[in-house]
A and B are shown apart, each in its own frame.
Chain A
Amino acid sequence: MIEFKNITKHFLTKKNSVHALNDVSFQIDDGEIFGIVGFSGAGKSTLVRMINGLEKPSSGQVLVDGNDPGKLNKKELRAMRKQIGMVFQQFNLLNSKTVYENVAMPLILNKEDKQMIDKRVKEMLAFVELSDKLQSYPDQLSGGQKQRVGIARALAMNPKILLCDEATSALDPKTTDSILDLLKKINDDLGITIIIITHEMHVIEKICDHVAVMEKGSVIETGKVQDVFSAPQQAITKDFINMVVKEDVPEGILKNLQYSPETSQIWSIKYWGANQTVEIVESLEKTFGKNVRIAYVTTSLLQEHTLNILIVLIDTKEDIAEKVAETMIPYQVLLERKEYEC
């Protein structure tokens, strides 16, 4: 288990002190895939580097299985780092060494014997499906292949924790998905705890169990991915979620429906599970007659769960909040009245 306890960090520049992290506390359980999302400069990288002691908190404490990397001596810290793999956005492979030598590096540093290194390197390269590239050099590989080498290298020492610092941010969407599948496989097959920093909500949506949303050095929202996605509390979280789950009606659609705030109300209905658009609309029509119009419907898959969003226009001036809520009771939905300026 990894615990962050009241972490703050400020960097001293010549003119002033910059607050990179502000009283950050949360924990990451063993065996999960934990995503940390935020725009660049939010403090994600600094926070994650505290797990393997590359950064030290100005105050507060990080505990990795009960050990505080900030309190270890150099030798103990090096031993701990060998138990934590790290993957980087720019791969950080040695260009002067072959794929084989790159993956072997952590084992060489640990002074393992040659036979063991050979066996382990080949095993890891088979795992990341690069057995045919043993003698290639990094500059002969594609971005996705380089990241696979980076992952194989990070796994060579059989770590308990894998840190991914924007591991897919330099890759195209298709390659991103293949790397995410690989990370998922690592988590499933090897039971390694994975911590992913990203600014792409797609990464969170696709493989993360828990998520922490960061802004300006603070964690502003944290929880299970499903919960955060279905009921985001903070504006910035909503912005991020909007990147993958469109829950706002594009203005053009409202215009085409000749929506006007004076004559219509917009209701957003969110629910998990099988799509029940037809049933919900029929129920609404039973209550409000022909005044119900569908504006927008989306269905997204978060992990194995389906999130449905249905947005309807109800043409009435009356206060119908209670009536709508009552009608929706059988469907267990999250109901919200939306306001748009048109």
Chain B
Amino acid sequence: MLDFLGIGSDQLIESLTETLQMLVTSAVIGAVIAMIIALILILTRTGGLMENRVIFAVLDTVTNIVRSIPFIILLVYIGPLTKMIVGTRIGTKAAIVPLVFYIVPMMVRLFENSFLDVDHGIIEAAQAMGATNGQIIRYFLFPESLGSIILSATTAIVGLLGATAMAGAIGGGGIGDLAISYGYRRFNRPLMTFAVIVLIVFVQVMQTIGNKLSDKIRNH
């Protein structure tokens, strides 16, 4: 059925699996880390619930620094660290580490914006009710920004998909790598086109799910 692509269907399925593996793992790990950092930034910023200039300045600067590094450079630059964490510098598993480094700062900024959009009056109302900081996050900040956070996460994950295409540089595999190694280098235009279509479908599906979820939360 897929003869015109010039590769076997097992190879195609493998690539798809690799992409999904990289995408889902780094998105989940990245979202958790980013959420924690974004919350700390919100709490410690000037006028925040636990104002702390030092912690804020350090996290804010580190976020900006990591964000400044282009992904293709990040991928090879943090090789030693990757080896420390997952035991190897190459392969799909190894690609997840730089992908997390890539997505965390982006998600931090997006989540931070979502939190900042929560009306200060709502936080003040929470304080007036005698809520603890933990309760403010759980019952006020988080539910009020959830719709926006889902959209932020969707934007970030779409960006992450683009980054997985570069994972081939360290043998990460995936659809993007398939398009480059088997499509571009072997002048296999149908395969490249197919890979592009698969990526488009991926993005469409993710964005649609994100929009639907967010709408559902916002419009009850």
Contact = CB atoms under 8 A, between A and B. Distances in A.
B128 A84 contact: yes
B194 interface: no
A90 B130 contact: no
B144 A54 contact: no
Interface stretch (A2-10, A92-100, A125-133, A227-235): A92-100
B220 interface: yes
A254 B134 CA distance: 65
Interface string A109-126: 110000000000000000
Given A96-B146, A97-B143, A109-B135, A90 B129 contact: no
A83 to B, nearest CB: 9
Interface string B120-164: 011011011111100100011001101100000000000000000
Contacts of B43: none
A114 to B, nearest CB: 16
A96 B125 contact: no
B119 interface: yes
A149 to B, nearest CB: 12
A79 interface: yes
Nearest to B135: A109
Contacts of A93: 122, 125
Nearest to A140: B220
Interface SS of B by simple majority: helix
Given A94-B140, A96-B143, A97-B143, A78 B130 contact: yes
B122 A94 contact: yes
A128 to B, nearest CB: 17
Interface residues of B, number: 20
Contact of B122 (A52, A86, A92, A163): A92
Interface string A70-101: 00000001111110101010101111110000
A132 B89 CA distance: 63
A52 B139 contact: no
A79 B132 CA distance: 11
Contacts of B33: none
A137 B130 contact: no
Contacts of A82: 129-130
Contact of B129 (A81, A95, A96): A81
B76 to A, nearest CB: 43
Contacts of A78: 130-132
A70 B200 CA distance: 58
Contacts of B129: 81-82, 86, 105-106, 109, 157
Contacts of A52: 128
Nearest to B140: A94
B139 A96 contact: no
Contacts of A84: 128
Given A109-B129, A109-B131, A96 B121 contact: no
A1 interface: no
Given A54-B127, A163-B128, 20 more contacts: A54-B128, A78-B131, A78-B132, A81-B129, A82-B130, A86-B125, A86-B128, A88-B121, A92-B121, A92-B122, A94-B139, A94-B143, A96-B217, A97-B143, A105-B139, A106-B129, A109-B130, A109-B135, A109-B139, A157-B129
Interface of A: 52, 54, 77-82, 84, 86, 88, 90, 92-97, 105-106, 108-110, 137, 157, 163
7 contacts: A86-B125, A90-B119, A90-B121, A105-B129, A105-B139, A106-B129, A109-B135
